[in-house]
Amino acid sequence: MSTLNSLSVSGAVEGIIRQAETSLSNDVIEALKNARDQESEGRARAQLDAILENIRIADTRTIPMCQDTGILVFFVEIGRDACIDFDMEEAIRKGVRQATKSVPLRPNAVEPLTRQNSGDNTGDGLPDINYSFVDSKTITITVAPKGAGSENMSAIRMLKPSQVDSVKQFVVETVFRAGGMPCPPIIVGVGIGGSFDKAARLAKHSLLRDLNDMDDFELEILEAINSLGIGPMGLGGRTTALAVHVEKAHCHTASLPVAVNIQCWANRHASVTLEAGHD
């Protein structure tokens, strides 16, 4: 049997949090470089140069690339043949507490009404852990730190079934209202269908995809967003968004939920796969 245990999960979680906070995946870096090369406006190029230099320093020094280290959102894929004989959720929470000290992370978790800070990025309902099951004997844990600047600009709307043609308009209007607040260039996650909460989860999960993976509908929305001219850091330019990703689910015949989850240029996420089954 695998040596998977609570300590190994906590250590792995601490490791992927450090990776996510201090380095970006190649698809994001390349998209930012391409955006810089395509910008003719000096201010836009200067902002993208500063972002790329920020990424380089964070990676070289293994320090967080943004002062807002976010709240920790996890996606955990559990193999149906996995053998788990410990509290997975507590192991993940322990990893978050360890990372808060070692990375370090800014303590961001507060009680919503009293605003009392837990001091370690855990609390009621945090970290946010989403589980799914797959055909394997492994466990894959993905962390996606989510900062407030972009999260606060996100939106959801319960459209009527007759308003299918309004989906694109709602997404573009949401980005327009956000302006420079979410630190563009942004990545736009869109969830269509399901229920009120399902649409939001779809939108957030879509942000994990490779930025180059876009279909015609997503490219159409991306073009409309970039025509707004908001540009890097809201100072004008050709690149307001790097990508648009849409995930869909069947929904009730009488409803059309649409959620837009905006992510800043620091589209941070990292994963680890652990063996968790019998030989």
Shared domain for 131 and 11, answered yes or no, is yes
SS3 217: helix
Q: What is the DSSP string of 56-99?
A: HHHHHHT--SSS---EEEEEEEEETTB---S-HHHHHHHHHHHH
What pairing do the DSSP bridges indicate for beta strands 186-193 and 128-134? unpaired
Q: Is the pLDDT of residue 159 over 60?
A: yes
d(CA 103, CA 109): 16
Q: Which of 238, 242, 203 is nearest to 222 (CA)?
A: 242
Percentage of the chain lying above the pLDDT 90 cut: 96
Our count of domains for the chain comes to: 2
SS3 23: coil
Shared domain for 19 and 103, answered yes or no, is yes
Q: Tokens 């695998």, residue?
A: 2
Shared domain for 19 and 80, answered yes or no, is yes
| Domain annotation covers residue 53 | no
Task: Count CB atoms within 10 A of the CB of residue 181.
Answer: 16
Structural domain harbouring 120: 6-23+65-147+268-275
Shared domain for 129 and 190, answered yes or no, is no
CA distances from 90 to 5, 18, 112, 172 (A): 12, 19, 22, 39
Shared domain for 103 and 126, answered yes or no, is yes
Shared domain for 139 and 177, answered yes or no, is no
- The answer to whether 125 and 43 have CB atoms below 8 angstroms apart is no
Q: Is the pLDDT of residue 148 over 50?
A: yes
pLDDT tens profile 221-278 = 999 999 999 999 999 999 999 999 999 999 999 999 999 999 999 999 999 999 876 5
- Looking at residue 41, its pLDDT comes to 81
Task: Count CB atoms within 10 A of the CB of residue 125.
Answer: 10
User: What angle in degrees, to the nearest 10, is found between the helix axes of 216-226 and 167-178?
Assistant: 40
Shared domain for 250 and 215, answered yes or no, is yes
Mean pLDDT of 105-115: 98
In this structure, the dihedral spanned by the alpha carbons of residues 199, 273, 87 and 8, taken in order and rounded to 10 degrees, is -140
pLDDT tens profile 244-260 = 999 999 999 999 999 99
Shared domain for 207 and 104, answered yes or no, is no
Mean pLDDT of 58-83: 97
| Domain annotation covers residue 60 | no
Mean pLDDT of 75-87: 94
Q: In this structure, what CATH number is given to the domain that contains residue 120?
A: 3.30.360
Mean pLDDT of 100-124: 98
Would you say the pTM of this structure is higher than 0.85? yes
d(CA 151, CA 3): 38
Q: How far apart are the first and last CA of the chain?
A: 6
Q: Is the pLDDT of residue 2 over 70?
A: no
Shared domain for 204 and 219, answered yes or no, is yes
DSSP state of 140: E
Mean pLDDT of 14-37: 98
| Domain annotation covers residue 110 | yes
Shared domain for 11 and 141, answered yes or no, is yes
- Looking at residue 278, its pLDDT comes to 55
pLDDT tens profile 173-218 = 999 999 999 999 999 999 999 999 999 999 999 999 999 999 999 9
d(CA 72, CA 16): 11
